[in-house]
Amino acid sequence: MTSRIRKAIIPAAGFGTRMLPATKSVPKELLPIVDRPIIDYIVEEAFEAGIEHVVIVTGRMKTAIEDHFDRAFELDATLRESGKGKLADRIAASTPSVGAISFIRQQEARGLGHAVWTARHAIGEEPFAVLLPDMVMTGAEPCLKSMVALHDRLGGNVIAVERCAPEDAHKFGIVSFTQTPEGPLVTGLVEKPAPGTAPSNCYISGRYILQPEIFGLLEEQEPGAGGEVQLTDALVRLMAMQPIRAFEFRGRTFDCGAPAGLVSANLAFAMARPELAEALHDEVQAAAALAIEARASAA
């Protein structure tokens, strides 16, 4: 019988160096997409997939994330006293219930694999999900919800993949797989292959469902790319023990850990809201015209 996915890890201890200087004092996970911080969208995706307990792994200078998910009694009272009860209700409704989120400190910056391993005691001996906090996904159905359904049907491990331009494959963790009657089965993973050597153009896009045996592999995993403990390296070893299935997400993913991705996400999410789209329409048209003009001048 396949165990249900009840818990998820969100590794949020990184420095956010691609977004400096904005992230010098503000965690990248709290940078806004319209009027909500990035991590709100990630946590929402987890709960929509049926997750009961989210474990957020933080680091130094990240206590603001804990504050964000806490109940702000003073703010609530002030809003209600000033006649902004609807806004207070909306904030209260978006605040997770007591015990739904916990926090663990990664005391050393040793990479994604180490961050996942840090949460091992909170997860225990059961399968779990991992959601990277800078990869915001939107589609007809939430990515993790679809992955949970696949896991419930077939078990094993599941990783989300998407397709990139072949010439960009060296920027990502790349997956090779073989087709089976039950869907694609992963046969290889490589972290940021040298240009021209990637086995495919399918990259790992920031969502995982993993069996608890990964923790033992991560505990003894030697540092890999960048001198960090890489989750991908442990997955290669796990693949020899258990099947890893690839779920191809066909929605849209924004890498909000980089300026272009965050700006794109803000534009896409804003334009999806009718009350904002009308106000932004002229500005978007003007910006597009300026961009065309600038490219023409550069040529």
Nearest to 158 by CA among 179, 130, 194: 130
32 within domain boundaries: yes
DSSP state of 167: G
Residue type, 209: I
210 within domain boundaries: yes
Residue type, 225: A
Please report which confidence band the pLDDT of residue 299 belongs to, taking 50, 70 and 90 as the band edges: low
Looking at the fold, whether 21 and 78 belong to one and the same domain comes out as: yes
Q: Which two tokens stand for residue 23?
A: 């992230």
20 within domain boundaries: yes
Looking at the fold, whether 136 and 265 belong to one and the same domain comes out as: no
CA distance 288 to 290: 5
Least confident of 120-129, 156-165, 181-190: 181-190
Q: What backbone torsions phi and psi does residue 146 show, to the nearest 5 degrees?
A: -65, -40
Least confident of 81-85, 143-147, 222-226, 274-278: 222-226
269 within domain boundaries: yes
Q: Is the pLDDT of residue 52 over 80?
A: yes
CA distance 265 to 261: 6
100 within domain boundaries: yes
When divided into structural domains, the chain yields a total of 2
Looking at the fold, whether 188 and 264 belong to one and the same domain comes out as: no
1 within domain boundaries: no
CA distance 273 to 125: 42
CA distance 70 to 65: 9
Looking at the fold, whether 57 and 126 belong to one and the same domain comes out as: yes
**Residue 274, domain extent:** 258-299
Looking at the fold, whether 171 and 280 belong to one and the same domain comes out as: no
2 within domain boundaries: no
Looking at the fold, whether 292 and 242 belong to one and the same domain comes out as: no
Looking at the fold, whether 241 and 273 belong to one and the same domain comes out as: no
Looking at the fold, whether 178 and 235 belong to one and the same domain comes out as: yes
Looking at the fold, whether 195 and 175 belong to one and the same domain comes out as: yes
Q: CA dihedral defined by 95, 96, 99, 100, rounded to 10 degrees? A: -160
Nearest to 256 by CA among 244, 243, 267: 267
Looking at the fold, whether 251 and 271 belong to one and the same domain comes out as: no
CATH at 180: 3.90.550.10
pTM: 0.91
DSSP state of 235: H
Looking at the fold, whether 252 and 282 belong to one and the same domain comes out as: no
28 within domain boundaries: yes
Looking at the fold, whether 57 and 101 belong to one and the same domain comes out as: yes
Q: What is the pLDDT of residues 231-281, one digit of tens each?
A: 988 999 999 999 999 999 999 999 999 999 999 999 999 999 998 988 888
